[in-house]
Amino acid sequence: MSKRLLLIDGHSMAYRAFYALPAENFTTASGQHTNAIYGFATMLLSLLSSEKPTHVAVAFDVSRKTFRSEIFPEYKANRAKTPDEFRSQMSYLHELVSAFGITQFEVEGYEADDVIATITKRAEKEGAEVFICTGDRDSFQLVNDKTTVLYPKRGVSDLARMTPDAVQEKYGMSPTQYPDFAALRGDPSDNLPSIPGVGEKTAAKWVVEYGSLQELLSNVDKVGGKVGQSLRDSIDNVIRNRELTQLVAEVPLDLNIDALAWSGVDENLTNPLFDRLEFKTLKDRMKQILLKGTGKSLEPEFALFAEELSEGVLTPGELDAKIAKHKGEIAITFSLDDEKLHRYAVAFSKEDIFLVHSSTMGDWATDVSIPKIAHDAKSLARSNGLAGVEFDTSLAAYLVNPGVRAQELKDLQERWGDGSAINFSSPEQELLTSARALFTLRDSLTRELKERGLWNLFIDMELPIAALLAKMEALGIAVDKKELDKLAAYFEGEVSRETKAAHDAVGHEFNVASPKQLQVVLFDELKLPKTKKIKTGYTTDAESLDWLHQKSGHPVLTSLLRIRETKKLGTTVEGLIAEIAKDGRIHTHFQQTVAATGRLSSTGPNLQNIPVRTEEGRTIRNCFIAGKGYVGLLTADYSQIEMRIMAHLSHDEKLLKAFESGEDLHARIAGEIFGVKAHDVDPEMRRQIKAMSYGLAYGLSSYGLSAQLDISPPAAQDLMDKYFERFGGIRDYLKVVVEDARKVGYTETIMGRRRYLPDLMHDNRQRREVAERMALNAPIQGSAADIIKLAMLKVQAAIEKEKLASRLLLQIHDELIVEVVKGEEEQITALVKREMGAAYPLRAPLDVSAGLGLTWHEAAH
């Protein structure tokens, strides 16, 4: 059998994997980043399965100090420092290669490509067929009839086969000419200088026209134009580039090609490593390549391409008939265009998968007795009423690691899938292959949820909340468009009026939105006190302008602050108007998998962003009204829920008694600290203690408190010391919660929701302190999120049980908004207060305030 040698540039491909897969998507429970290792492992599996090599080797760089950096000290000097997240994975990469039974090389003073070139030339002499996997284009000089370079086009999964014909087609030259071309082109990534005014086209033209760099330089005086002069001025750089881009094929290696023979991976080595790295699905994928002890190579259990799937395209009616005969769960993937269904795929198993081009689905979609697996099922439930979802991979992945932003189905297939192709040739293939993958994703994520103690949270809270949110989004909330239009005009007029006032205050016109012009006006012309120094001069952000206003009282600052305030309000109103649907209602989207603490966020439009503390902000809320057939809106929210959770978690007796007393909480606490009766606490004392109480839950420092209260840092520290002296339970809790999180790598809410914080162990003090503040905040804010979600489910269940026509519309932070039917006012108010109050048994019992009104603002209480 002829030798098939696979050579891999270890650092090059590991770096590709590191940047192709989000680092935050791949961390173990202890905080170890694994994205480079995982990507490298999947690439290895793919190459070993597809190329079927008889011999394999991996070459790694030792350091950036090589013979090239001695010739040219600036070689690769422009490259950023290796990220700590990558460096921490290197030892595991070496361990992985060894576990795969692959020989690896590192030679001081040489790069991995030189090692590969040396092995390639020796293997060619023995008649071997060579395949080189690297992201370095200098390797193209090795391409010939015996050697092919597998060059990554995207990530580490999409590889171009660079044969002599492929190099000729892409660059118009042979592989032997490529290093001459590279020398003329220069290479910014290696810090090799280019020729001024000469791009790739000119460099290629010269190489083809003259045949080689040597011939070009022999005739350099004949090259005309400005580029010719640039070439003559850059000859030294070009000659040095050529020396540096030439791969060395004589690296001193004690090497016998037969010693690189590969006989398969050893499960006894890979499985423990995969367990440590929490790679659940890679064990199954190992079955696709030769395993030691099996004596045979197993073919992939499933074809990955749409044309090889069992059935193909069906009409909605044909699919309905098949589903009617099918028993058990189905997996569904779908494509939405402007929230309208475009096409969808349904899988009965990993083999039986069907595609439908239609905007309609049969009754099976809303039939709760047919269990369904989906990704982001809420989107389809909102638009098409999908029901009966028993597993949602987006929600499951979010619970497993809520700090991750990349939770698209493709991302999950990379992390938890079965190795199905993720670079799809068509949208149809993507739907079909992804539908099949949902079964494996469901199994992998189920194991993970149960191992982390999150299964009940997933089943009892997140899944039913998603179904409820879909109903709420579909209902929307009615608005008074005429009133919104009036407000938009008013805010626009305010901006115009204050802009003229600003110009009059300065004596000439200027662009009030231009930081550069503002700097000239404020600091050069008006000679106002300098703000914080930034790259472009001095900052003119809102906080700085407010500081300047307090210092100087200049009328231009009064106008500038008013302009910014009214512009922001005007933008909010315009955003609301743009989102009004044909039914006269606004249908926001509740984001369930964005905030790492478990809180919901709102987009399209963001209804949580409407100000409530200013009179003008409240006029915006006054535009939200009860819809036709309803008599008003009910709003109900929790009183001081985060402080009650603090009391519950810390077991602080004095704080618990403060809640039991029923007195003004902040006045009671201030009285304790300042040594006076609660009724003798003045507004300033109360303000300071309120800021302290809420700030502690967010990791507020004495410096931060001093800035917030406008007092000296020593005075702020003294205040904090007095606070902790009286409330020792809070002090002890805040200390312990960070220490415990550092031990296990995460915090937990009252419902067991986890927030992973790997930076708690980071060497960088700033990153570590940010993680510590998150560790303080996550259990409190996350528990508040858990409680309001429990309340929503209880309220909805009670509405359905009592058969009320009033309906839950919105959740805004700790507030619920209900649209009320005539005659149900008293019943729905009592129901909401009762169910919200009983959502969770805190030691400091939940307190609910409620109000009714014709508008959102009028219902405020």
Q: Which of 301-305, 412-416, 767-771 has the lowest mean pLDDT?
A: 301-305
Determine the pLDDT at residue 308. 44
Determine the pLDDT at residue 271. 85
The CATH number assigned to the domain holding 713 equals 1.10.150.20
Handedness of CA 130, 135, 136, 141 (dihedral sign): positive
Q: Phi-psi category of 849—alpha, beta or left, where left has phi over 0 and alpha has psi -120 to 50?
A: beta
Question: How far is 184 from 190, CA to CA, in rounded Å?
Answer: 14
Residue 633 tokens, joined: 């809106």
Q: Are 411 and 25 in contact (CB under 8 A)?
A: yes
Determine the pLDDT at residue 290. 44
List, for residues 694-752, the tens digit of each pLDDT value. 888 777 788 888 888 888 889 889 989 999 998 999 999 999 999 999 998 899 999 99
Residue 292 maps to a domain: no
Q: How confident is the model at residue 279 (pLDDT cuts 50, 70, 90)?
A: confident
Residue 95 tokens, joined: 């361990």
Residue 281 pLDDT > 80, yes or no?
Answer: no
Give bridge partners of residue 603 from the DSSP assignment.
589
Same domain, 660 and 734: yes
Determine the pLDDT at residue 76. 66
Residue 290 tokens, joined: 């030769």
Q: How many domains does the chain have?
A: 4
Q: Are 164 and 144 in contact (CB under 8 A)?
A: yes
Residue 304 pLDDT > 50, yes or no?
Answer: no
Residue 628 pLDDT > 90, yes or no?
Answer: yes
Question: How far is 101 from 123, CA to CA, in rounded Å?
Answer: 19
Same domain, 385 and 487: no
Residue identified by tokens 């209602």 is: 585
Q: List, in sequence order, every beta strand (DSSP E) within 407-480.
A: 477-479
Average pLDDT value over all residues in the chain: 88
The CATH number assigned to the domain holding 40 equals 3.40.50.1010
Q: Are 427 and 343 in contact (CB under 8 A)?
A: yes
Q: Which of 327, 322, 277 is nearest to 28 (CA)?
A: 277
- Report helix, strand or coil for 313: strand
> Which of 560, 586, 612 finishes a domain?
586
List, for residues 216-267, the tens digit of each pLDDT value. 888 888 888 888 888 888 888 888 888 888 888 888 888 889 989 998 888 8
List, for residues 313-361, the tens digit of each pLDDT value. 899 999 999 999 999 999 999 999 878 999 999 999 988 999 999 999 9
List, for residues 494-519, the tens digit of each pLDDT value. 999 999 999 999 999 999 988 889 99
List, for residues 443-486, the tens digit of each pLDDT value. 999 999 999 999 999 999 999 999 999 999 999 999 999 999 99
Q: How confident is the model at residue 278 (pLDDT cuts 50, 70, 90)?
A: confident
- Report helix, strand or coil for 65: coil
Residue 494 maps to a domain: yes
> Which of 586, 607, 628 finishes a domain?
586
Residue 300 pLDDT > 50, yes or no?
Answer: no
Residue 487 tokens, joined: 């407000």
Same domain, 355 and 417: yes
Same domain, 53 and 121: yes
Residue 424 maps to a domain: yes
List, for residues 34-57, the tens digit of each pLDDT value. 989 988 998 888 888 888 899 999
Average pLDDT over residues 664-683: 89
Same domain, 353 and 426: yes
DSSP-assigned letter for residue 855: B
Give bridge partners of residue 625 from the DSSP assignment.
478, 855
The CATH number assigned to the domain holding 442 equals 3.30.420.10
- DSSP notation for 326-356: --S-EEEEEEEETTEEEEEEEESSSS-EEEE
- DSSP notation for 597-612: TS--EEESS-GGGS--
Percent helix, strand, coil in the chain, to 5, is 55, 15, 30
Residue 106 maps to a domain: yes
Residue 180 maps to a domain: no
Question: How far is 301 from 298, CA to CA, in rounded Å?
Answer: 8
Same domain, 310 and 444: yes
Same domain, 333 and 447: yes
Q: Are 476 and 809 in contact (CB under 8 A)?
A: yes
> Which of 722, 753, 768 finishes a domain?
768
The CATH number assigned to the domain holding 571 equals 1.20.1060.10
Residue 305 pLDDT > 50, yes or no?
Answer: no
Distance between terminal CA atoms of the chain? 84
List, for residues 842-854, the tens digit of each pLDDT value. 999 999 999 999 9
Residue 172 pLDDT > 70, yes or no?
Answer: yes
Determine the pLDDT at residue 77. 64
Same domain, 567 and 656: no
Which helix (H) or strand (E) covers residue 47, if one does?
A: helix 35-51
Residue 407 belongs to what domain range?
306-476
Same domain, 543 and 469: no
DSSP-assigned letter for residue 763: S
Question: How far is 136 from 159, CA to CA, in rounded Å?
Answer: 13
List, for residues 689-709, the tens digit of each pLDDT value. 998 888 887 777 888 888 888
Phi (first) and psi of residue 150, to 5 degrees: -100, 100
Residue 335 maps to a domain: yes
Q: How confident is the model at residue 804 (pLDDT cuts 50, 70, 90)?
A: very high
Determine the pLDDT at residue 284. 64
Q: How confident is the model at residue 650 (pLDDT cuts 50, 70, 90)?
A: very high
Same domain, 323 and 470: yes
Q: Which of 754, 751, 728 is nearest to 740 (CA)?
A: 754
Q: Which of 755, 843, 824, 750 is nearest to 788 (CA)?
A: 750
pTM for the predicted model, two decimal places: 0.74
Determine the pLDDT at residue 296. 38
Q: Are 402 and 598 in contact (CB under 8 A)?
A: yes
Residue 795 maps to a domain: no
Same domain, 516 and 445: no
Higher pLDDT pick, 375 / 513: 375
Q: Are 726 and 624 in contact (CB under 8 A)?
A: no
Residue 403 maps to a domain: yes
Same domain, 506 and 469: no
List, for residues 581-610, the tens digit of each pLDDT value. 999 999 999 999 988 899 999 998 999 888
List, for residues 103-145, the tens digit of each pLDDT value. 999 888 888 999 999 999 999 999 999 999 998 888 999 999 9
